[in-house]
Amino acid sequence: MADRVVIIGGGQAGFSLAAKLRALKDPRPITILSAEDVAPYQRPPLSKKYLLGEMDFARLLLRPLDWYAQNDVELRLSAFVEQIDRDARRLRMQDGSTLDYGVLVLATGATPRTLPAALGGDLSGVYVMRDKRDADRLAEEMRPGRRVLIIGGGYIGLEAAAVARHKGLEVTVIEMADRILKRVAAKETADAMRDIHQRQGVSIRESTGLRRLLGHEGHVVAAELADGTTIEVDFVIVGIGVSANAELAQLAGLDVGNGIAVDAFSRTSDPQIFAVGDCAELPWEDGRVRLESVQNAVDQADAAASVIAGGAEPYRPKPWFWSDQYDVKLQIAGFNLGYDETVTRPGSREGSLSVWYFRQGRFIAVDAINDAKAYVTGKKLLESDLQPDRLILADPAADLKQLLG
């Protein structure tokens, strides 16, 4: 059907857009094409409660399977698109079939970066963490007493370290930069998180790159580090970031930067094609960014669905993120891109603190470690475009409620 809305991608963004269209009573047929062999599910618990065995996969499903039929949403699993014919508004599938669309939505997500084969990335026992298949494979490896090397000291690597320690493994994290969380957080946040992991027994080696992984009969057995040392390992988790899945868009001649370029309405350079979620590069203040978070996947998808259904409101991101490690909840409101100043404030209980980010004197983000009050206050300030009083912020005895006026 020529008026069909086709969504490529069965992750959080793709599902959210379909659900929002139905909530808006859009009558057009909807087809979700998912490369995975299971219905859309929540990804964050995969690397935490699911991997720990504390949550069944059924609880991760975004909706029961019968929801799709009840809402006239066709869900095709293990469906791979090979080509977008923009002139004909037609998709060619890997199995040779075709599918026509009226509106196309690219919710293709992102793929973890892997180690090149020259560094041992093709050895068995080397994993990334992104989807259910990855989590299932890692669950088989995570047994007490085993030794795991985690390459990359970002949030993915640190969350994996926390799960591995919880399951009784010996954990080493290496980070090529001079500190963990270099790209995403201030030194003060990194210092706090490093201390938490070291107290749990994780060995964190900063300013330490990987020279190569060593194998025996095709399986990883050790890692040779850039400082010349060699450590024995049973398996390896690679957490060195992700790349947007933009190949289809690029082959179709759409504008692509650090992701599929969209305008404030989530339209690509073809007005009949939208892009949402981790694959989309969107306008942000004076530049362009990709926002890799569940919050952005849901909110951008909702905004795009409203436009597809006839609305005209641009998407104005209000980013927030979170990371659970051990019994520590790190909550982040805002986006600290380009910060040039921070204010660190101790929380009301032991081990809690918040780091407040400023750029050219303007408040732009807050990291809150076991400090829900700081997170909620910072989020409200950002949503209201209010600037916190520095004197109140710098005074640990002052009530943060005063910042809201």
| Residue-range domains of the chain with CATH | 5-111+243-308 (3.50.50.60), 114-238 (3.50.50.60), 327-404 (3.30.390.30)
Strand partners, 259: 257
Residue 25: partners with Cβ closer than 8 Å, 6 or more residues away? none
Q: What pLDDT does residue 48 have?
A: 87
Query: What is the Cα–Cα distance from 368 to 298, expressed in whole angstroms?
Result: 22
The answer to whether the beta carbons of residues 169 and 148 sit under 8 Å apart is: yes
The answer to whether the beta carbons of residues 321 and 332 sit under 8 Å apart is: yes
In our burial notation (b when 16+ CB lie closer than 10 A, e otherwise), range 247-273 reads ebbeebebebeebbbbeebbbbbbeeb
Could you tell me where the DSSP H helices lie in 47-186? 49-52, 66-70, 132-141, 155-166
Please give the C-alpha separations between residue 308 and each of 4, 8, 237, 373, in angstroms, as whole numbers: 12, 15, 40, 37
366, two tokens: 């807050």
Q: What pLDDT does residue 76 have?
A: 98
Residue 383: partners with Cβ closer than 8 Å, 6 or more residues away? 318
CA 100-102-104 angle, to 5 degrees, is 85
304, two tokens: 């795009």
Q: DSSP character for 46?
A: G
Q: What pLDDT does residue 2 have?
A: 61
The answer to whether the beta carbons of residues 243 and 110 sit under 8 Å apart is: yes
Q: What pLDDT does residue 282 have?
A: 97
Q: What pLDDT does residue 1 have?
A: 52
The answer to whether the beta carbons of residues 162 and 200 sit under 8 Å apart is: yes
Q: Which helix (H) or strand (E) holds 368?
A: strand 362-369
The answer to whether the beta carbons of residues 17 and 27 sit under 8 Å apart is: no
Which positions of the chain have pLDDT values less than 70? Answer: 1-2
- Please tell me the pTM assigned to this model: 0.95
What tens digit of pLDDT does each residue of 83-95 get?
999 999 999 999 9
What tens digit of pLDDT does each residue of 241-261 get?
999 999 999 999 999 999 999
Largest Cα–Cα separation, the chain: 67
Q: How many helices (H) and strands (E) does the chain have?
A: 10, 27
